[in-house]
Amino acid sequence: MNLLDIMTDPNTRWILLGTMFLGLSSGVIGSFAYLRKQSLLGDTLAHAALPGICIAFMLTGVKSTSFFLIGAALAGLAAVFLISVLTRYSKIKQDAALGIVLSSFFGFGIVMLTQIQQSEYGNQSGLDTFLFGQTASMVMSDVYMMMAVSFILIFTCTLFFKEFKLLSFDPGFAKGMGLPVVFLDYFIMMLIVAAVVIGIQAVGVVLMASLLITPAVSARYWTERLHIMVILSGIFGMLSGVSGTLISTSVNNLPTGPLIVLSATAWFFFSLLFAPKRGVLSSVWRRVSLKKNHSLEQERRKGRYTS
């Protein structure tokens, strides 16, 4: 297929729209996660979604995005709760708690997944597409769902921008001002869970974290202002979604999810190298000139002493 065919193929257009919105919304919510130093929480929540989805399927017996959403949200809540219990009531540190919850939930998820595949539904359940994502398995209603959830996510972030900003920057101060910090904390996590759930169908649980992390980090290179960072991060996410989908539909047999991730990485490298102040090129330049200045100054001083 060439590019024109892709653009005119109605099915692809829908998928493109879906991944575009997905990239946009996860980029936006991801930048709050990044500033709150919770980047890998998204990874844990994505992995934790698997048993939630499996249980939802086992209970209802149908493959429905809205039931999966509920299952994943509940599993995500349980994961968040367990992480805070582990770090509060034992000497287990945050990173280990994330790792324990991530691998345990995923392990149990795999157990359930293989059980479902052995059962009467067999491989028709199509649940395995959730591991690495499969845009081809998406139907129209899935895309509607993605767009609806994305819209709600972006709308909420705009509405609560001020509160989220304060919470990310200084939770202690936010609490002092009377903001319901704990509630907002869980609220942001639920938004991340929502982004994860619409994302795993396209990108898969294993790689979903990338869409939350990479665009936000790329955006951070270009600006010191939060609102610009959030917008940029959304744009980077959107571009990744679009370019990943386009490449995967034009080259046969390539999974969309990993390509979206690699596009996001490409944007990250671009930012890493060329961002004006924080980029590698400009900081190398600074370091070199600093060293040069320093040695020049030293020589000048030495010259003064001897003369």
Partner 1 sequence: MNDFWIILVGALVAGSCSVLGCFLIVRKMTLIGDAISHSVLPGIVLAFLLTGTRDSVPMLVGAAALGLLTVFLIQLFQSSGVQADAAIGIVFTSLFAAGIVLVSLYTQQIDFDLEHVLYGEIAYTPWNTLTIGGIEAGPKAVWIVGSCFILNLILIFVFFKQFKLVSFDPALAAAMGIPVLLFHYVLMSLISMTTVASFDSVGSILVVGMLIIPAATAYLLSDRLSGMIKVSIVVGVLSSVIGYYSATILDASISGCMVGSAASLFCLAFLFSPTHGLVSRLLKRRKSKERYA
Partner 2 sequence: MEQAALKVEDLTIAYHKKPVVEDVSFEVPEGNLIGIIGPNGAGKSTLIKGILELVPKLSGDITIKGATYKSMRKSIGYVPQRESVDWDFPTNALDVVMMGRYGHLGWLKRPGKSEKQKAMECLDKVGMAEYANRQISQLSGGQQQRIFLARALAQEADIYFMDEPFVGVDAATEKAIIQLLMDLKEKGKTVLVVHHDLSTVKEYFDWTMLLNKRLMKIGPTQEVFIPEYLQETYGGRLAILPDTKSGLLLK
Q: What CA dihedral angle connects 41, 45, 47 and 49, to 10 degrees?
A: 180
Stretch that binds partner 1, among 14-22, 90-98, 146-154, 298-306 (CB under 8 A): 90-98
Mask for 29-68, x = binds partner 1 (CB under 8 A): -----x--xxxx-xx-------------------------
CB of 304 vs partner 1, minimal distance in Å: 36
Q: Cα 197–267–206 angle (5° rounding)?
A: 30
Question: In this chain, which of 37, 225, 227, 286 binds partner 2, going by CB under 8 A?
Answer: 286
Q: Which does 86 bind (CB under 5 to 8 A by kind): partner 1, partner 2, none?
A: partner 1
Question: In this chain, which of 16, 73, 83, 102 binds partner 1, going by CB under 8 A?
Answer: 102
91 binds partner 2 (CB under 8 A): yes
Kindly report the three-state secondary structure assignment for every residue of the chain: CCHHHHHHCHHHHHHHHHHHHHHHHHHHHHHHHHHCCCHHHHHHHHHHHHHHHHHHHHHHCCCCHHHHHHHHHHHHHHHHHHHHHHHHHCCCCHHHHHHHHHHHHHHHHHHHHHHHHHCCCHHHHCCCHHHHCCHHHCCHHHHHHHHHHHHHHHHHHHHCHHHHHHHHHCHHHHHHCCCCHHHHHHHHHHHHHHHHHHHHCCCCCCCHHHHHHHHHHHHHCCCCCHHHHHHHHHHHHHHHHHHHHHHHHHCCCCCHHHHHHHHHHHHHHHHHHHCCCCCHHHHHHHHHHHHHHHHHHHHHHHHHHHC
Q: Which does 170 bind (CB under 5 to 8 A by kind): partner 2, partner 1, none?
A: none
Q: Which does 100 bind (CB under 5 to 8 A by kind): partner 1, partner 2, none?
A: partner 1
Tokens of 237: 């996410």
Among 129, 120, 123, 105, which residue's Cα sits nearest to residue 55? 105
Question: In this chain, which of 4, 91, 183, 301 binds partner 1, going by CB under 8 A?
Answer: 91
Q: Which does 129 bind (CB under 5 to 8 A by kind): partner 1, partner 2, none?
A: none
Q: Which does 104 bind (CB under 5 to 8 A by kind): partner 1, partner 2, none?
A: partner 1
Question: In this chain, which of 118, 141, 293, 298 binds partner 1, going by CB under 8 A?
Answer: 118
Residue 228 to residue 232: CA distance in whole angstroms: 6
Q: Contacts with partner 1 in 173-212 (CB under 8 A)? A: 206-207, 209-210, 212
Terminal alpha carbon distance of the chain: 76
Q: Count of residues binding partner 2 (CB under 8 A)?
A: 9
298 binds partner 2 (CB under 8 A): yes
Q: Which does 259 bind (CB under 5 to 8 A by kind): partner 1, partner 2, none?
A: partner 1
107 vs 180 by CB, closer to partner 1: 107
Q: Count of residues binding partner 1 (CB under 8 A)?
A: 59
Question: In this chain, which of 1, 290, 296, 299 binds partner 2, going by CB under 8 A?
Answer: 290
281 binds partner 2 (CB under 8 A): no
Stretch that binds partner 1, among 110-118, 137-145, 161-169, 288-296 (CB under 8 A): 110-118
CB of 96 vs partner 2, minimal distance in Å: 11
Residues that bind partner 2 (CB under 8 A): 91, 93, 283, 286, 290-291, 294-295, 298
